Structure 1
Amino acid sequence: MRTTWTSPTLTFSYIILEDLAPISEMLAKESVCHWLFFGPNTPEVTHTYFLPFIEENALALTEERMPAHFVFTIRDKATGAFIGQCALVAEDFSPGAYIVGYQIDEPYWNRGIGSEAATFLVWFAFRIAGAYRLNADTTAGNRGSVRVLEKGGFIPEGRQRKYWHIGGEYQDRLLFGLLAEEVEDELLATLDRLFT
């Protein structure tokens, strides 16, 4: 069963136990968690969240089936350096709908990696996971994440005012969605060649 996908510059691999250390280090940073409703996290908090995904992946691989959730580590293809993580987390009560998430470590910001991760998740969701819908959200102040979602084809679907309390301030939550029928076959065919 396949566990890794590549682009010309990145690898996306199912999360494994060895990935917890760099993910924990990333999510302990104030800068990385600035716009998130969680964090900075202790290693224990990060381990508690990610360990069930790691265990699920290991079991799915043993049983030669796809996991229910798709959590990936992003690494530099040439060097193997840790860059971040991204995920498609299955929505409860809506088989085929997933929540999109991504965190990129600070040294790799402003290089288009967030956009490439979102593009990978769109491709994986509709080509591999059989999704019918993707859901995403971000704080209104996180212009970088808004741009990533817009470039990925996500459609704005709403605004929840003062939804999160982050860093001593209330933040509006912006909701985005993408349906399978909104992604052109030609685009998916191009992405088939990109993510070998």
Structure 2
Amino acid sequence: MNVNPEALRRELMDHGLSRDELDPNPIKQFQQWYGLTLGTDLPEPNGMTLCTADAQGRPSARTVLLKLYDERGFVFFTNYESRKSKEIEQNPCVALLFPWVALARQIQITGRAERIPTAESLKYFATRARGSQIGAWSSPQSQVISSRSLLESKVAEIAQKFSQGEIPLPAFWGGYRVVPEMIEFWQGRESRLHDRFRYVREGTDQWRIERLAP
């Protein structure tokens, strides 16, 4: 049975976060926090806010889903012709935020987004539900459309086109990996005296850990 978020929130706020309990590797520290969150009743704990900016520095934000992560970074999937993708191609510096407000926790990640190899995107695409695969083909993401019926007609057209056999990976769809340069773990505490620790990359696999004032 999953853990009640309210009870866990109180426990985490009372305990706080200390330097001694942090893993030297921020990915392993992320794994600890993320694993705990998966054991709660929170809806879509893999939801993360992705912030991008265009070449002029104008920002935009939206929620995407974390699908993969490892020592190389954090992966999400999208239409390569969407607004987020166009902004990433102009300016690959991005930020991610896991807003686990119900647990009084946040994780902020900044780094550079890069396309993952097509083979990796194909491997993930093959695991998606057929409806989601059809949706990826059907939606001209971020473009203006006149009505929902137009979108539904496109879905019907694609469903008919690929009615037999497997649905191929669209050339315009795939994953981005955010290669982290900074990862901050934020633990809420009473009286707004929160615990904040920031990992800053130094070299290929070395990290400096700093405590930040709330």
**Into which bin does the TM-score normalised by the smaller protein fall?**
under 0.3
> Bigger relative contact order, structure 1 or 2, given CA contacts below 8 A and separation 6+?
2
Greater gyration radius: 2
Which has more helix, going by share of residues? 1
